[in-house]
Amino acid sequence: MNRKRWIILLCLIYVMQSSWTSMAVTDRDILSDPVANVYTANVLGQTISDNLSFSDVPVSHWAKDPITRLGALSIVKGYNENNAMRYRPNGNVSKQEALAFLLRVVGLEAAANQAAENLEVGEDEGLLSIWSKGYLQVAADNGLITQLELDDGLILDQEALDPEFNFIRAQNVSREQVAMWLVQAINIINPGRIEPIYVNNKIFTLSDWQSIDIAFVPYVEAVMQAGIMVGDADRFRPKGSLTRAEMAQVIANIDDILYETLDKTVKGGIVGSISDAGVIGSINNESKRTILIRNDEGLVDQVDLIVTSNEQNKISRLDVPVLGQNGVRGLSSLREGQSIAYIVDNTTLEMEYVVIKGDITTTQVKGVLQPLIDIDNGNITVKNTSGVPLTYTLSVGLYDLEERQIKIGEYYRSIDNAPVSETITLTIQNNLVTKIDQEGATPLSSEVSGIVKEINTQFNFITIEKWDGGEITKYFNKDQVRVEKQNYYDLEDEIGYIDEIFPEYGFDERDTGIEAIEVGDVVHLLMSSNGQYIEAISAKTNYNVKFGEIVSMVSYGANGVNIRVNYGDGSIGSLNVDGFVPVLRSSRNIGVGNLQVGQMIKILMNQGVLAPGTVVETVKQIDVDPYGNIYARIYKGDLGYMNMATGTLSLLNSYHLTKTGWSGYNPMTDLELSGAGVEIFHNGNQISLSYADRFLRTDTMQAYVVTEKHYDRERIKKIVFEDGRDDVLASTNVSYSNGYDAIRLISSVGDIGVNPGTIVLKNDHIVSTGSILSPDYAQVVLAGQGRAVIVNVLPEPNNDAISVFRGRISNIETNREVKVESQAILKDMTWIYSPIQREFTLSYDTMIMDESGSIPLSDFIDYSELSKVDEVYTIIAEGTKATHLIKNPYATEGVVGEIYGINGDDTISIKDALVYDSATKLWTELSFKNNYATLEIVTESVIIKNNQVIDIEDLELGDRIRAMVTVDLSEQLKLTDNRQATGYILFVED
């Protein structure tokens, strides 16, 4: 057959199957947007579609979708009767059928088929006499039925069994039995996803709840609460039977649990484009229909209908069953503009089923664009004519996350230059914005000065608010307009147009481009002779400086942070700080990533008033106070003498707070009282020092003093007086905080009171109670009556971000990369070996150590006498970056305990010591009489705390430490009475 006849044949295949004709693409951007997911069709797709065309389940049947959907997933199956497929929707479900359905739900059909082959066949048993025996065996193996029930079910002559006492496989299954089996089946593969519920609530809404057998009650409660089985009106009919149609609906009602168990996803979308192509080959010929779908997330999914034919006229199809108004067809029945739901397999990336929900409706919404365009989440907000803000999701083709742009009309523009406060029209399909159009802006006036309300570099216009409150719009040629702008860091520059009068042809940092103009700038416009076009712009900042304390932060990674700031007047502001904004501390730009809760900051921001009550604030620079508010220590003691002349206060019988509580007793501690703004509280109320000196000298009164660092000394920042003995709680997470007068800890019952007098520390700063957030990890000191006198927020013990490897060096790319030919990763106390080569990146801050000390990165090479090839190093890594390479011994033994002594820079003492037995992998006490040990710290030791490598001086008393050592300390103690070992890898765990 020649190629022309092949083409005709393939075209006829399409004509016979589909009347679809090419038309304009429904989604205009779908062809240019990247395809997020490509799904394959099934070679058995046409066969599956044919098998799902049940003659006794018309399209109008109430259970058509669940029956077809589950049939496509091979969970329910029909019967071939006289070459016609039937489902028997009104037939009752037997026990064996119910078990078969549910075991297919959890993916155990293959196991059932295998089990059937393994079972012995009786002499009188035909090949298909007990079709369900494999399912019955798997059900017994997984606890759905008992061994006795299995034995009954495998008896060939079921009529000899007593229905009252025996398990009869063909007997109708009861609704309560299905409830139990359903919960049990899901727990086979997805434990805990749905559990029996023993505190009953839902079943009491049933009029027949008392007829549910007690053994089934928690399972019926579970499926009712999950909405899987809802009963009939107010009755559950626990002893009643289920039809095959009802059983399909019950399984479909499992919904998320079903698809999660099967590792599948249900998606929704709109068919945006259908295109055809053909490939004529020397042997095989292929015709392909490509279908692009805009899914509910705004991304593009693709699936192809492929028809292939060969020289023997054999035609094969890759297709997907599609349920529509005309029954079950294939992908050729889809049309552009249809709204569909489809099921995909997350592992094979196969599209398994599609249901047509109908044609989409296109609506348009007109409103005023609001300034907060949430491009990170693909959202846009407009205010309608009633002033109500409405937020919509953008299709992925309407914004560019990397370039921070949004598409309006046919062009992309920066979100900073979006037409905020202008009227726009949104075209919406399936709750997704597919197009944005802007109403044109018309010049209104010839005024040439004011405050910028909008600057649009895409359409080349600027809108300003005049000093009388009116607005004007003027146009410019961005390649010709001359622009100069006073820099934000040079607030005294008032030159204006002076360099226009006396041109300076050298470098002038004020000269810039139109992109430097911002909303809120004060501008003077030099117009053309006809007053229509801008020839030059002179701009100055409209900056405002504010001071405040950071009370909370949300990080956006490289895109910056959002900070909530408590300003000096008591108001709270929320500011977005871009990742490139300078953050200065002691004249060094430390970057946005080093902002912390509790810091006192000065904020330089540009303000633009778009409308009454609508203000755009752009942060330009942040200065961090390098000294203020950094706490030094917390003391408690009895109030001693005060000398206002010398500015000193003494505490008698004082202690200072550590991780393990109060320690460091001192009969008298003198503290500096000269700092300005010292706050003094008693019972949550602010008082004067004179009041304290006169009235609070009692036998039971305790003074709690927090000091702050001030250059090379510490001085008092806050004093709190509380009556009675305190209680230091074990450090734990905050589970709740209202930001004002109450917090709750995971380890405590009930609320703990806080007040303005509570000493709150976070990130080494003295902060307000509003900075206590869930799930902060905190040490709380109670002062009686359930009231906290101290809340010390600490870094939560965690080393999950760091990995520890040992590897043999195979290759070094100097200053850039190291490769190990084999390596082991440390998991708890076990080195897990892998023969796979691994690569780690090196950088200027990678530390390299051996027993002699630090090795320069330039000497870590794989050639000359310095070569490190074949040497084994311990590698501390953050992801693929090696932060430390240390040549130390292979440590497989371990010891853990609480630090009670730090002796210089070479030993630490631990108590409550447990020793790890690498043979049994168990921890045992080192000694039952005097349980302590000493760990020696050497040059090649590495200490890890809160995902950072630290020095010994950074350890604290009370730290719980786990050390990898090379000796069995327990055995060593028995033989030599020696409690000391060298710690090579140490983890601070609490």
Domains of the chain, by residue range, sit at: 64-262, 362-438, 449-540, 543-624, 631-794, 803-886, 893-988
Which of 90-104, 151-165, 479-493, 509-523 bottoms out in mean pLDDT, i.e. has the lowest? 479-493
> Which residue has 């094979």 as its token pair?
348
For 388-442, how does the pLDDT look when each residue is reduced to its tens digit (9 = 90+)?
A: 788 888 887 788 888 888 888 877 788 877 887 788 888 887 778 888 888 754 3
Joined tokens for residue 328: 């079950």
Q: Which helix (H) or strand (E) holds 691?
A: helix 689-695
244 CB burial (10 A radius; 0-12, 13-18, 19+):
buried
Task: Supply the DSSP symbol for 173.
Answer: P
**Cβ count within 10 A of residue 128:** 6
Q: What is the pLDDT of residue 280?
A: 65
The pLDDT > 90 percentage for the chain reads 27
Q: How far apart are CA 340 and CA 356, in angstroms?
A: 5
Model confidence at 976, pLDDT cuts 50, 70, 90, reads very high
CATH topology classification for 449-540 = OB fold (Dihydrolipoamide Acetyltransferase, E2P) (2.40.50)
pLDDT at 351 over 70: yes
Q: How far apart are CA 331 and CA 444, in angstroms?
A: 55
The superfamily in CATH containing domain 543-624 is Nucleic acid-binding proteins (2.40.50.140)
Q: What is the pLDDT of residue 721?
A: 94
Model confidence at 808, pLDDT cuts 50, 70, 90, reads very high
Which of 83-97, 362-376, 901-915 bottoms out in mean pLDDT, i.e. has the lowest? 362-376
Stronger pLDDT, 283 or 716, i.e. the higher one: 716
Q: Is residue 238 reached through a cis peptide bond, with omega within 30 degrees of 0 on the bond before it?
A: no
Stronger pLDDT, 805 or 199, i.e. the higher one: 805
Residue closest to 987 by CA, chosen among 879, 835, 837, 826? 826
Q: Do 362-438 and 803-886 share a fold? A: yes
Q: Which range has the top average pLDDT, 120-129, 285-294, 303-312?
A: 285-294
> What is the average pLDDT across 678-686?
90
For 842-880, how does the pLDDT look when each residue is reduced to its tens digit (9 = 90+)?
A: 988 899 998 888 999 889 999 988 899 999 999 999 888
Q: Is 146 left (phi over 0), alpha (psi -120 to 50) or beta?
A: beta
Transcribe 298-362 into DSSP letters.
S-EEEEEEEEEE-TT--EEEEB--EEETTEEE-GGG--TTEEEEEEEETTT-BEEEEEEEEE--E
Q: How far apart are CA 778 and CA 764, in angstroms?
A: 13
Residue 278, CB-side half-sphere exposure with 13 Å CA sphere: 14
821: CB partners within 8 A, 6+ apart: 807, 808, 809, 810, 837
> What is the average pLDDT across 541-564?
79
Residue closest to 810 by CA, chosen among 840, 781, 783? 840
Task: Supply the DSSP symbol for 232.
Answer: B
* Local structure of 126: helix, strand or coil: coil
Q: What is the pLDDT of residue 1?
A: 42
Class of domain 803-886: mainly beta
> What is the average pLDDT across 722-732?
88
For 18-43, how does the pLDDT look when each residue is reduced to its tens digit (9 = 90+)?
A: 434 344 455 667 877 788 899 988 87
Output the CA–CA distances (angstroms, integers) from residue 908 to 172, 703, 961, 980, in the order listed: 72, 33, 10, 10
Output the CA–CA distances (angstroms, integers) from residue 209 to 197, 201, 206, 232, in the order listed: 15, 11, 5, 12
Stronger pLDDT, 5 or 391, i.e. the higher one: 391
For 646-673, how does the pLDDT look when each residue is reduced to its tens digit (9 = 90+)?
A: 788 899 999 999 887 888 899 999 998 8
Q: How far apart are CA 802 and CA 402, in angstroms?
A: 29
Q: How far apart are CA 959 and CA 900, in angstroms?
A: 8
pTM of the model: 0.43
Q: What is the pLDDT of residue 22?
A: 40
Joined tokens for residue 382: 């407009």
At 800, the amino acid letter reads D
* CATH node for 362-438: 2.40.50
CA 157 to chain centre: 58
> What is the average pLDDT across 75-103?
89
* Local structure of 101: helix, strand or coil: helix
Find the distance separating the first CA and the last CA of the chain, reported in whole Å. Answer: 79
Q: Residues 746, 749, 751, 756: is their CA dihedral positive or negative?
A: negative
CATH topology classification for 893-988 = OB fold (Dihydrolipoamide Acetyltransferase, E2P) (2.40.50)
pLDDT at 8 over 80: no
pLDDT at 547 over 80: no
Give the β-pairing of 713-723 and 701-710. antiparallel
